[in-house]
Amino acid sequence: MDNKKIILASKSPRRQELVKELNFEFEIRSNKDVEEIYPDLLDPYKVPEYLAALKSSPIISSLSENEILLTSDTIVLFQNQILGKPKSKEEGIKMLKTLSGKTHEVITGVQLKDINKTISFSSITKVFFKHLTDEEISFYIEKHNPLDKAGSYAIQEWIGYIGVSKIEGCYYNVMGLPLHDIYKKLKKHFYKD
């Protein structure tokens, strides 16, 4: 694993912390905000990979021989509808009421890219929410203000502690990076012994 560096194109503190825990040498490189727009008719399951690829485009030309670019995007999918980041506390409350007592999917699309190859994949985790009371939802929205989070929640915050009854799949995927899958793909495609 020597002589290679991960270039993480993300401003997310959660993603930065997760990549740090993989113990690869890495740096943050984000030169501009990418407008996260995707084609209306794109299959929702393909949206995260599409957006991960979009995020890599401004940085590709800056890669050197020993660097691997990592970009990702995470969506919350409920009944084939993408729940993005809420634009207001009211919208956040509405999203959590929608997810309350039901199951949804969290899908993270990842792109790993060096100057020779590109590997893209998605990871899916099913998340089961207990029934959330109006008081629990309001408390969470006021206390944590999750307007920067898809689906209006973070599993590693209070709402995850009290509201998520079960998951099927990778916990870290719900946080924004499927670490197991990323490590496996890096080892297979970029760090061959």
Per-residue pLDDT of the chain (193 residues; tens, 9 = 90+): 567 899 999 888 889 899 988 888 889 987 567 788 899 999 999 999 999 999 998 898 889 999 999 999 999 999 999 999 999 999 999 999 999 999 999 999 999 999 999 999 999 999 999 999 999 999 999 999 999 899 999 999 999 999 999 999 999 999 999 999 999 999 999 887 5
Q: How far, in Å, CA of 9 to CA of 53, rounded?
A: 11
Q: How far, in Å, CA of 13 to CA of 156, rounded?
A: 13
- Residue 33 is predicted with a pLDDT of 73
Q: How far, in Å, CA of 61 to CA of 181, rounded?
A: 26
In the chain, what are the domains? 5-189 (3.90.950.10)
- Residue 12 is predicted with a pLDDT of 84
Any idea which residues carry the catalytic annotation? 73
For strands 164-168 and 67-78, give the pairing. Answer: unpaired
For strands 26-28 and 67-78, give the pairing. Answer: unpaired
- Residue 1 is predicted with a pLDDT of 54
